[in-house]
């Protein structure tokens, strides 16, 4: 049985709390190959002991380079992966180890919007059937008339028409398909949406329309978002709080506006320095240096030290702990020792 004790870390009013969450994948060669080559099993730690909390009605975003573990966190939260260690707490209940049956009522309240809207929609079904599926699965309406009325209401919420319900996914543009994905996610009347790169496959003008729609829906329905993205402009627009991930670990967590205005961790600064300086302030910028290390054999100590311009021997040997600096949590020896200018 999963441990359902009340979790005391994080804000008392948090809707979702993640505690020391880790997820490893076995990436070993086949057994016979390992025996012949005398190789040990290999594991990739995609998520490595992260902690964060999300309050009702806020948007918490995870950013980082490709392969840092953002999408794995999203899949852990919605139950597509089981945690290797740690806990995922939704309203003071650990949902990380629940069975499929135990997870069913919680899955109605936690829905996901995927990166590729076309791949996540059944091409053989009309839109009205796609949106109605969660309504039927969770018995949220009785009778075809009530289901049809609810589907038409959802189409209106995402700025589509009832006539669009008779069409198939291939008849829509990318932005319209993502609106359909959002309507399907809302069909189960959720409290919490996990948005995994929901605008990355769209052009800039359509991105703005989808983001505005998501903010309007959040205000009107009281939704809470876990937003995954590598697009810093999108994250700046939609986020209340922000977590910066590197090689499976959170290196900086805090209010989004504070982190964008005053980044402290060297990796956060490096990410933000990739944004063009359109105002031509003349601010000194840190060039992106080095490659992301192999996650199967990560560096000792601080995982960012091979690319860090402020590295010391302590960084190479000792993993930094998270420390509070105002409302921001940072894991960096350089910040702790005041070696990195504010």
In three-state form (DSSP H/G/I as H, E/B as E, the rest C), the secondary structure along 247-307 is CCEEEEEEEHHHHHHCCCCHHHHHHHCCCCCCCCCCCCCCCCCCCCCCCCCCCCCCCCHHH
pLDDT at 279 over 60: no
Closest CA to 326 of 257, 237, 226: 257
C-alpha span between 44 and 249 (Å, rounded): 13
pLDDT at 10 over 60: no
pLDDT tens digits, 83-136: 999 999 999 899 988 888 888 889 999 999 988 888 889 999 999 999 999 999
- Per-residue pLDDT, 285: 63
Q: Does 75 map to a domain?
A: yes
C-alpha span between 184 and 193 (Å, rounded): 12
Q: Does 95 map to a domain?
A: yes
Q: Does 237 map to a domain?
A: yes
Q: Does 9 map to a domain?
A: no
CATH number of the domain where residue 267 is located: 3.40.50.300
Give the pLDDT mean for 73-79. 94
Q: Does 38 map to a domain?
A: yes
Parent domain of 53: 16-336
Q: Does 2 map to a domain?
A: no
Q: How many domains does the chain have?
A: 1
Q: Does 104 map to a domain?
A: yes
- Per-residue pLDDT, 4: 33
Helix (H) or strand (E) holding 73: helix 70-78
C-alpha span between 239 and 232 (Å, rounded): 10
pLDDT tens digits, 128-178: 999 999 999 999 999 999 999 999 999 999 999 999 999 999 999 989 999
Band of residue 8 on the pLDDT scale cut at 50, 70, 90:
very low
Band of residue 11 on the pLDDT scale cut at 50, 70, 90:
low
Q: Does 111 map to a domain?
A: yes
C-alpha span between 193 and 179 (Å, rounded): 14
- Say what the pTM is: 0.90
């Amino acid at each position: 049985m999963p441990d359902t004790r009340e979790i005391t870390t994080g804000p008392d009013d948090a809707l979702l709390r993640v505690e020391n969450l880790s997820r490893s994948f076995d990436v070993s060669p086949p057994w016979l190959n390992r025996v012949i080559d005398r190789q040990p099993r290999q594991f990739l730690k995609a998520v490595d002991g992260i902690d964060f909390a999300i309050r009702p009605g806020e948007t918490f975003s995870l950013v980082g380079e490709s392969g840092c573990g953002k999408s794995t966190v999203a899949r852990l939260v919605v139950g597509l992966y089981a945690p290797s260690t740690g806990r995922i707490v939704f309203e003071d209940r650990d949902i990380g180890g629940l069975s499929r049956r135990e997870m069913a009522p919680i899955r109605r309240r936690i829905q996901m919007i995927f990166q590729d809207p076309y791949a996540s929609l059944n091409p053989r079904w009309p839109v009205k059937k796609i949106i109605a599926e969660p309504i039927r699965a969770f018995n949220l309406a009785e009778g075809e008339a009530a289901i049809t009325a609810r589907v038409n209401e959802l189409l209106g919420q995402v700025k589509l028409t009832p006539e669009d319900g008779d069409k198939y996914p291939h008849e829509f543009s990318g932005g319209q398909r993502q609106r359909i994905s959002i309507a399907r996610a809302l069909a189960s009347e959720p409290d919490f949406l996990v948005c995994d790169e929901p605008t990355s496959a769209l052009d800039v003008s359509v991105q703005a329309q989808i983001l505005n729609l998501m903010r309007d829906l959040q205000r009107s329905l009281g939704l809470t978002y876990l937003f995954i993205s590598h697009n810093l402009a999108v994250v700046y627009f939609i986020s209340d709080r922000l977590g910066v991930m590197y090689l499976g670990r959170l290196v900086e967590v805090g209010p989004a506006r504070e982190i964008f205005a005053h980044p402290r961790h060297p990796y956060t600064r490096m990410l933000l320095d990739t944004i063009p300086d359109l105002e031509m302030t003349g601010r000194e910028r840190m060039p992106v240096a080095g490659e992301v290390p192999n996650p199967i054999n990560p560096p000792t100590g601080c995982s960012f030290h091979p690319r860090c311009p402020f590295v010391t021997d302590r960084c190479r040997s000792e993993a930094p702990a998270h420390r509070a600096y105002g409302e921001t949590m940072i894991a960096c020896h350089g910040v702790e020792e005041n070696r990195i200018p504010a």
